[in-house]
């Protein structure tokens, strides 16, 4: 399926991210959930821990199922080649695309070996100019999240992708987890589309599927949402994720919107004409 569908059906991305908690079997179950709910692709996150984070932060305390430091937690959540080989094969078997948001150049070079159809720039990485250039030079369709960013930040990113002639979709995003509905500002979808003359999607972190459905009604060509097997699981992104029921509601409703919205041309259908013949039975009386 193309990112911009000829029938205006939004492209749905299930963001697995790090909600697999370092367990490849959980990743497989999340892939299955996304496919069964009708998503078009799944997305992961890839980091080189010692590049993305400072030594001071990695050595700082953090209680987690894997230890008592930030390093223990972050290293446990990173998949390597063995796990990504399994993910790649499982997605092929299930017939669903996968890709990843790399948080550093080394990670992007790692992901390249899988020849994924798409790339993703995560909101925190929008100002990472070296990474933007490495991704844009691949000229693969890239989803660019704009959370935590000013127009000046987005201007620079768009310029890089246009200089490399790399196709992209800007993703309106509110970069808190979970995001409050009063902060979502969904009309920014239209504002971004008008400012940059490009396709715009929506990457949501709220707890309900409804804002993503509204985003689709506002013309978002792609919808990205975190997914989880259980929102009570350990992890910073779990509470901002959708379980299977919420994901199904989102996909079913978002993909039915083009049919519901129609083309905006006022017309009388054949069924209405038949009803009019039956229901407009009143007599007209001429005035004296």
Q: Check: CB of residue 156 under 8 Å from CB of residue 162.
A: no
Answer whether the bond into residue 47 is a cis peptide, omega within 30°.
no
Count of C-beta atoms within a 10 Å radius of residue 154 = 18
Q: What is the pLDDT of residues 234-273, one digit of tens each?
A: 988 998 999 999 999 999 999 999 888 888 999 999 998 9
Residue 6 has pLDDT above 90, yes or no: no
Predicted confidence at residue 282, as pLDDT, reads 64
Q: DSSP states of 196-254 as a string?
A: HTS-EEEEE-SSSSHHHHHHHHTT-SEEEEEB-S-TTSSSTTGGGSB-HHHHHHHHHHH
User: Apex CA 188: angle with CA 244 and CA 43, to 5°?
Assistant: 35
Strand partners, 168: 142
User: How does pLDDT run across 47-105, given as a tens digit for each residue?
Assistant: 999 999 999 999 999 999 999 999 999 999 999 999 999 999 999 999 999 999 999 99
User: Please, what are the domains in the chain?
Assistant: 11-279 (3.20.20.70)
pLDDT tens string 10-45: 999 999 999 999 999 999 999 999 999 999 999 999
Q: Which tens digit of pLDDT belongs to each residue from 133-153?
A: 999 999 999 999 999 999 999
| pLDDT given at position 8 | 84
């Amino acid at each position: 399926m193309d990112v911009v569908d000829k029938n205006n059906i939004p492209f749905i991305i299930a963001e697995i991210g790090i909600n697999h908690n370092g367990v490849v079997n959980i990743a497989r179950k999340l892939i299955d959930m996304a496919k069964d709910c009708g998503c078009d692709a799944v997305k992961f996150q890839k980091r080189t821990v010692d590049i993305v984070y400072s030594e001071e932060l990695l050595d700082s305390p953090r209680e987690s199922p894997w230890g008592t430091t930030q390093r223990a937690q972050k290293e446990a959540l990173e998949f390597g080649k063995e796990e990504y080989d399994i993910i790649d094969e499982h997605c092929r078997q299930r017939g669903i695309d996968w890709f990843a948001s790399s948080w550093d150049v080394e990670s992007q070079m790692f992901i390249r070996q899988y020849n994924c159809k798409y790339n993703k720039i995560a909101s925190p990485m929008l100002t990472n100019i070296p990474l933007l250039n490495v991704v844009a030079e691949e000229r693969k369709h890239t989803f660019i999240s704009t959370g935590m960013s000013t127009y000046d930040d987005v201007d620079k990113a768009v310029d890089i992708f246009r200089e490399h002639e790399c196709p992209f979709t800007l993703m309106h995003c509110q970069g808190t987890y979970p995001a409050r509905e009063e902060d979502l500002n969904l009309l920014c979808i239209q504002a971004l589309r008008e400012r940059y003359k490009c396709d715009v999607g929506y990457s949501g972190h709220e707890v309900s599927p409804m804002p993503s459905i509204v985003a689709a009604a506002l013309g978002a060509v792609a919808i990205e949402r975190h997914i989880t097997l259980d929102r009570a699981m350990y992890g910073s992104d779990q509470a901002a994720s959708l379980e299977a029921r919420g994901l199904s509601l989102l996909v079913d409703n978002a993909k039915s919107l083009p049919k519901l919205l129609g083309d905006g041309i006022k017309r009388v259908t054949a069924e209405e004409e038949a009803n009019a013949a039956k229901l407009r039975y009143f007599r007209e009386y001429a005035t004296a």
